Structure formats: structure tokens, C-alpha cells
Amino acid sequence: MAYRHPDRDQIRIEDVLSALGNGVRLAAVRLLDAGGEHNCTSVLNTLGITAKSTMTHHWRVLRDSGVIWQRPSGRENLLTLRREDLDARYPGLLDAILSGAVHDETIEADRERLRPGT
């Protein structure tokens, strides 16, 4: 099975922002940002997601928006962040989103830690 991916010049900012506006997809992209190819199962396990069908939808959204490359490899799919394409198309966008996500998680963890009765 071959997947269709948009060319670099077909990547639209509204599609990228929509794809990364979902917490599960954003968490997956943060994992992929470490570089290299990752198989779907390892990403699922790291995120603690057990429903493969749920992630199939998320992979499609990320792929169709131009955020990831997805390629079959045997019975598995390999995922790669399209950082070079995203940085060329929208310089600094991915870094801003990913650093903002880390900042937001830190704030939420602090709020939870400081919540009365915890």
C-alpha cells in the first residue's frame, strides 16, 4: 500500500495547524521530532494508546496535512516528521508549536501539583 503525501508546496498552514491542534497528534509529533523513523506500534506504546484504529485516523490527518511521512514496511508502517519541508514552508512554526506544547504541559503539571488536596 502506497500512501499519498502532499508535495512541499501543497502543504497549507491551516491544515498543519488543524492537525497539530489535537493533543494526541501533537504528542505523536513531539515523539517524532526526536528524528529518524519510528514504527507506529512504538509510538502507540509510548503514548499509552491501545486502540490502533484511533491512531489510524490521526496518522491520516498528519499525513494528509503534510506533517509526517508514512511508509509501509512489512506489516508495520514507519513514520517520519517532515521537519525539513515544514521548516522550509513555514520557518519557525514547528519549533514555536512544539516549545509551546512543552510550556503548556509544564504549566498544567504545576497547576495539578498545587491544586488543594493533592
Q: Are strands 38-39 and 68-73 parallel, antiparallel or unpaired?
A: unpaired
How do the pLDDT tens digits run along the chain, 118 residues long? 689 999 999 999 999 999 999 988 999 999 999 889 999 988 888 888 888 888 899 999 999 999 999 999 998 899 999 999 999 999 999 999 998 766 555 445 544 554 555 4
Burial of 113 (0-12, 13-18, 19+ CB in 10 A): exposed
Q: Topology of 8-110 in CATH?
A: Arc Repressor Mutant, subunit A (1.10.10)
The structure's pTM equals 0.83
**What are the structural domain ranges in the chain?**
8-110
